[in-house]
Chains A and B, each alone.
Chain A
Amino acid sequence: MTVTSKTLMTLFLLVVALFASKVNAEDARDLRDLQFDANVEEPLRKQMLGDLAFMGSVQGSNSTPLHAKIFGKVDGPTYSAWFASRIQSVGKNACGSGNAVACVIPFFASNKMWVTKNYTQFDHPQIARISVIFHEARHSEVQNGNWSHANCPTPFRDERGNDVKSLWTGALLAGQPACDVTPFGSYGSQTVLLKNIAMNCANCTEKVRADAEIYGNDQFGRIIDAKAKAAMRADFGMKPKRI
């Protein structure tokens, strides 16, 4: 062999080795490998792992087409793999808001999730808490532009014609980057997740399914594109909205 072919052979072996290690790393990624920063207190770590353990135990009877496309089946191991392939470490941060529960800061570290003290201090139902970390995990997808949010329309009114606003701050959501135009974004996928837990989780308690329905309906309100909304209604088996 010439020097060139020897060099190419070396390069070839190097790339093959790199590829193999990458594939192995994807396969081996596991929630047990989730790394927690030292400043994540034990109660917070336990709460998050407890929540992820619950999702890892889910058994589904069915799943909607959108759910199948985004997550796969309604199935614990599938949820665990989905989450673990996006989030590898967890740190503690205020997420720039006194009221936030969790966030992903893509420019800082796309596969890292930050949780705030509110993860344990605010008394959210368990499935609501979980839906937030799955929402944030969706933001880790660099290859999908981190599923940036769309600005809510101005005016932004609910189905009863009322301005959508924060109950406690009174802040209007109109014009704010707190909406989605696709079922595949963070709000969309969060809604799809919640609705599927409500409809298809075979081993969830009645309370978890009721909560998933309530919070799913709430998140659905953040989808502002008519076609996306119609697709999601059809996916969930909801009646089309009368115009």
Chain B
Amino acid sequence: MGSKKIVWVMLLVLAVGIAGWGVLKPRDSVPGVEETVNIAPRASEALALAESSPSAGPTGDPVKALLPAQKLNAADSRKISILRELIQTRNDNDPRMDTELRNLSAAAKAEIQSIYRDTKPESRNERGTMVFLLGREIRDPAELSFFRGVLQEKPCLSLENCERPAGAVSGDEEHLETINDTTASYPQLIALRALVHRANELKEASQEGSALFSGILDTLREARNSPNPKIADAAQSAVKELSNE
């Protein structure tokens, strides 16, 4: 009789164990799971990456180095050096992006525009990063020419080669390519975002009558005729949002 009891106890423990296993198995059943996974030693590897492509020289894009080139002082040179390093490491979350690459002088802005012009069009994130840095510090209407040029660039047809259309894809492949369209228009999307953001700042400061606000609105109006239909549509929405046109 004693051994039968043991058998029953064992069966009960087995059942509880198997049930417990089943409960643990579905991964979403434990929201907020906080197992400690420390991969900190790998973080340094991000900075060791040096995979960026070399610049390919002028591209024939509408963007020119529109601010007059000026001699860089030591602080400007340091900022440009940091920018080049950030681009090379492909680490968008380097905090120096927000701590060091601010308060750009006119000379530094002109230099960044020049680097943009010389960066090959397939380097979408590199180009977008430069537009981002310039876009969060738009202070003068003269700076808008650069954004006008970015928004009038012809569409990048493939991330491998902006000049050559990518091959047709099947339905199954479409799902794998979901971010490619956005990246193809990335510098332009960043430019639009920056302009809208700056215009809203001016609106909040009741500076809708300023030359800068008018210039931004004009830039967006022109972008409605961008050769990139995605950008033309987005510019249309932006103009509507800012001026009800």
Docked pose: A76 CA to B45 CA in angstroms: 17
User: Is B69 interfacial (CB 8 A cutoff)?
Assistant: no
In the complex, which of the residues B37, B42, B237 contacts A81, with contact meaning CB atoms closer than 8 Å? B37
Which of B6, B39, B183 lies in contact with A32, CB distance below 8 A? B39
Q: Which of B22-30, B143-151, B218-226 binds A?
A: B22-30
> Which positions 115-142 of chain B face chain A at CB distance < 8 Å?
122-126, 128-129, 132, 136
Are B92 and A211 touching (Cβ within 8 A)? yes
Total residues of chain B contacting the partner, CB 8 A: 89
A235 to B155, CA, bound (A): 34
Taking CB atoms, residues of chain A closer than 8 Å to B136 are: 206
Given A15-B17, A99-B159: A210 and B132 within 8 A (CB)? yes
Candidates A12, A30, A168; contact of B157 at CB < 8 Å: A168
Across the interface, do A95 and B24 meet the contact criterion of CB distance under 8 Å?
no
Write out the residue numbers on chain A whose beta carbons fall within 8 Å of the beta carbon of B25.
143
Question: Across the interface, do B28 and A53 meet the contact criterion of CB distance under 8 Å?
Answer: no
Q: Let me know if B175 and A177 touch, CB within 8 A.
A: yes
- Cross-interface CB contact of B49 among A4, A50, A143, cutoff 8 Å: A50
Interface status of B245 (Cβ within 8 A of chain A): no
Please provide the chain A residues from 155 to 184 with a CB less than 8 Å away from any CB of chain B in the complex: 160, 162, 166-169, 171, 173, 175-178, 184
- B7 near A122 (CB under 8 angstroms)? no
Identity of the chain A residue whose Cβ is nearest the Cβ of B236 in the assembled complex = A160
B3 within 8 A of A: yes
Query: Is B85 in the interface zone, CB < 8 Å from A?
Result: no
- Partner among A99, A120, A122, A126 whose Cβ is within 8 Å of the Cβ of B92: A126
Q: Give the CA-CA distance A144 to B172 in the complex, in Å.
A: 19
Tell whether, in the assembled complex, residue A168 and residue B14 are in contact, meaning their CB atoms are under 8 Å apart: no
Question: Which single residue of chain B is at the shortest CB-CB distance from A126?
Answer: B92
The A interface, classified by DSSP as helix, strand, loop or mixed, is helix
Q: Let me know if B95 and A123 touch, CB within 8 A.
A: no
Residue of A nearest to B157 (CB): A168
The answer, among B32, B45, B229, for a CB contact under 8 Å with A68, is B32
Please give the distance in Å from B4's CB to the nearest CB on chain A. 8
User: In the complex, which of the residues B18, B27, B40, B180 has the most CB atoms of chain A within 10 Å of its own CB atom?
Assistant: B180
Min Cβ gap B222→A in Å is 19
Chain A residues contacting B244 (CB-CB under 8 Å) are none
Would you give 12 A-B contacts (Cβ < 8 Å), ordered by A?
Answer: A30-B37, A30-B39, A46-B49, A53-B39, A69-B31, A72-B33, A81-B34, A99-B160, A101-B176, A121-B160, A205-B92, A208-B93
Q: What is A's interface to B at a CB cutoff of 8 Å?
A: 1-2, 4-5, 8-9, 12, 15-16, 19, 22-23, 26-27, 30-32, 43, 46-47, 49-54, 56-57, 68-70, 72-73, 75, 77-78, 80-82, 84-86, 95-103, 118, 120-128, 131-132, 135, 141, 143-144, 149, 160, 162, 166-169, 171, 173, 175-178, 184, 187, 203-208, 210-211, 213-215, 218-219, 222
